[in-house]
Amino acid sequence: MFFYYYDWTILILIPPLLLSIYAQFKVNSTYRKFSEVKNARGLTGREVARRILDANGLYDIQIEHIRGNLTDHFDPSSNTIRLSDSVDNSTSVAAIGVAAHECGHAVQHAVGYTPIKIRTAMVPITNFSSNLSILFIIVGLLISNMYRATQGNNFGFTISVIGICLFAVATVFQLITLPVEFNASARALKTLETDMILYDDEIPMAKKVLSAAALTYVAALISSIATLLRLVLIVFSGNRRR
């Protein structure tokens, strides 16, 4: 009886889950390691952020402190970079890398970097579709089960497919996020090196921190793709059984 109700599609989510766990471990351990290495110039995350912004003519962007650990982000709606407890006043190489990365996002907006313009435009759409996708799929499956004996009735299946399409929007959002994050890190490392904010032996340390952080976005995309695939299998296999 157990095997009759066993949903094998859950196995699809195991590899992405393990990757996500590893990615989170990697970013935490890497940041913790290089947060103990102070940069030779003694600059804080806030000082580096201000220096990079001013060098790019972004004098109007403010820098604020935000509570938490690695909660750093750039808010384009208020033109503000928010640096966390572990970055704002820290002189560690790890903090410098994170601060420079957030400045990379600010520069992307300033120069009109296409992927970040697309991602920003997709935020409200993604929030809307994510909230409704699972609801549509569940309702569609329930309707399909209720009318399974009714030949030719595919209304529930149609609703489920709409739910899959809505979820696919979130997957596309995750895909667009990758070049945005990679480009911000590339801009950060180039600036840290060319403006001599970090010494040559410190650049690889900052790169390891940003590479570990990038892995979390890769894991998020793979998890989203795996979930989308599982939903497709559940909905379409259920329709074939009708």
pLDDT in tens, the chain (242 residues): 333 445 788 999 999 999 999 999 999 999 999 999 999 999 999 999 999 999 999 999 999 999 998 899 999 999 999 999 999 999 999 999 999 999 999 999 999 999 999 999 999 999 999 889 999 999 988 888 776 655 555 888 999 999 999 999 999 999 999 999 999 999 999 999 999 999 999 999 999 999 999 999 999 999 999 999 999 999 888 655 55
The SS3 call for residue 71 is coil
Give pTM, 2 decimals: 0.88
Query: Which of 218, 221, 189, 203 is CA-nearest to residue 107?
Result: 189
Domains of the chain by residue range: 2-240
Say which of 102, 181, 193, 202 is annotated catalytic.
102
| Main-chain dihedrals φ then ψ at residue 241, nearest 5 degrees | -75, -10
For 234, residues 6+ apart whose C-beta sits below 8 A from its C-beta are 7, 9, 137, 141
Examine the residue annotation and report whether 102 is marked as an active-site residue of this protein. yes
